[in-house]
Amino acid sequence: MKKKTLLIILAVLVVLAAVLAVVVSNGQPKKRASEVIITAEGTNVTYDLKTLDLTDVKASVTRANGKTLKIDAKGMELKDILKGFAKYDKVKVTAGDSYSAELTYEEINKDADVYVILGDGGKPRLIILSDTDARRDVKDVLTIELIR
Amino acid sequence: MKRISLKYLIFMAVCCDLGIIAKKLIAPAANLITDNLHIPGGIGTSFSLLFLVTAAFIVKRFGAGMLMGLVQSGIAFLLGNVGSMGALAPLGYLIPGLVIDLCVLLPERTGMSEDVRIVICCALASVASSLTANVIVFGLVGPVLALYCCTACISGIVCGFIAALLCKRLRPVFANDRQNVKKEGPET
């Protein structure tokens, strides 16, 4: 194998990535920055966070690695957002970059713990105050899927 | 595993640090690209791995890649930089290290020049790292996973070319040193 062959492989991969990027982009639901799409039993409901009754969320979360996350934003508890929906066992929150996190019904219904706030650029962000790591800190929330 | 001289160990340690710094430096630009591709990463790690690949191909000892992976995971833990992998972060460094070690063992009789082997090594390590992250954290499937791996492979190839260039520049430094040691050897 020569360098030229590698360059051809690289070119093929770039083309393949471009095609896949179009496929992935087309597969994503379209929404405005501050909106979240809630999927329950096959139906999608879009909420614009800005139009909801948001409150000030101020908290300081210290993670296991010693880093402190200061939160000072407008937001709403996730359990309040999901109030009108049928019973669910868990929720899958997926970001625009396909990163996702799962929460159980019990976790969501803890008082003052799980919030969806307006993050950078007015994009919805999932924050779990009791989590010791940032594993379920989902920025740019795209969909919230209710799973039975 | 053959013993690795102190000089090589220091070089490997420097490469580990450079890898972590490079990943941090490239992260904002990499995130800009991956956000638009709707994938959770796949670019930054290749820039980290290029230094490990460079060191592994200079040192040429089986285990050097895994050793550097272990050191990197230790540094990441100490800096609180484990990201979404949490306690499983060492796996995310060790598996690419193992892939690098296996690639270093690729025999020269395969007809591939060392530059090509370095590029392939970097690409495979990058894809291995992405797949490990996917299994531990992301759980992507279908076209998103394909795009994620494809992006990791592209950045791995690009970084592989940089690693090959670095190896070419650095090899004479270590080769000269070996010759000096041989010359000085009988006198001492």
pLDDT tens across B15-71, in order?
A: 999 999 998 899 999 988 998 888 888 898 899 999 999 999 998 888 899 999 999
Query: Is residue A68 within a helix (H) or strand (E), and if so which, with residue range?
Result: strand A68-77
- Cβ-defined contact of B150 to A6 (cutoff 8 Å): no
The CATH number that domain A32-147 falls under is 3.90.420.10
- Cβ-defined contact of B137 to A135 (cutoff 8 Å): yes
Query: Does the interface ipTM go beyond 0.90?
Result: no
Q: How far is A99 from B37, CA to CA, in rounded Å? A: 12
* The two three-digit tokens of residue A105, written as one number: 């019904």
* Per-residue confidence (pLDDT) for residue B120, from 0 to 100: 93
DSSP string, B134-184: IIIII---HHHHHHHHHHHHHHHHHHHHHHHHHHHHHHHHHHHHHHHHHHH
Q: How far is A72 from B75, CA to CA, in rounded Å? A: 31
148 residues of chain A, pLDDT tens digit each? 677 888 899 999 999 999 999 998 888 888 888 888 998 888 888 888 888 888 898 888 887 777 788 888 889 999 899 888 888 899 999 988 888 889 999 999 888 889 999 988 888 999 998 887 778 888 889 999 999 8
pLDDT tens across B153-182, in order?
A: 999 999 999 999 999 999 888 876 655 555
Phi/psi for A44 (5° steps) reads -105, 130
- Cβ-defined contact of A3 to B111 (cutoff 8 Å): no
pLDDT band (50, 70, 90) for residue B1 = low
* Per-residue confidence (pLDDT) for residue B111, from 0 to 100: 75
- Cβ-defined contact of A20 to B147 (cutoff 8 Å): yes
Arithmetic mean of pLDDT over chain B = 86
Q: Which residues of B touch A13 (CB under 8 A)?
A: 150, 153-154, 157
pLDDT tens across B40-54, in order?
A: 888 988 999 999 999
- Cβ-defined contact of B154 to A17 (cutoff 8 Å): yes
pLDDT tens across B76-127, in order?
A: 888 877 767 777 888 889 999 999 999 988 776 677 888 899 999 999 999 9
Report the residue from B139, B148, B154 with minimal CB separation from A13. B154
C-alpha distances in angstroms, B46 versus B93, B152, B153, B166, B179? 12, 7, 9, 15, 33
Q: Which residues of A touch B137 (CB under 8 A)?
A: 135
| Residue ranges of domains in chain A | 1-30, 32-147
Over residues B118-146, the mean pLDDT reads: 92
Phi/psi for A64 (5° steps) reads -60, -25
* Per-residue confidence (pLDDT) for residue B183, from 0 to 100: 54
Interface test with B, best of A62, A97, A128, A137 (most B CBs within 10 A): A97
The answer to whether residues A91 and A148 touch, using CB atoms and an 8 Å cutoff, is: no
* Per-residue confidence (pLDDT) for residue A84, from 0 to 100: 84
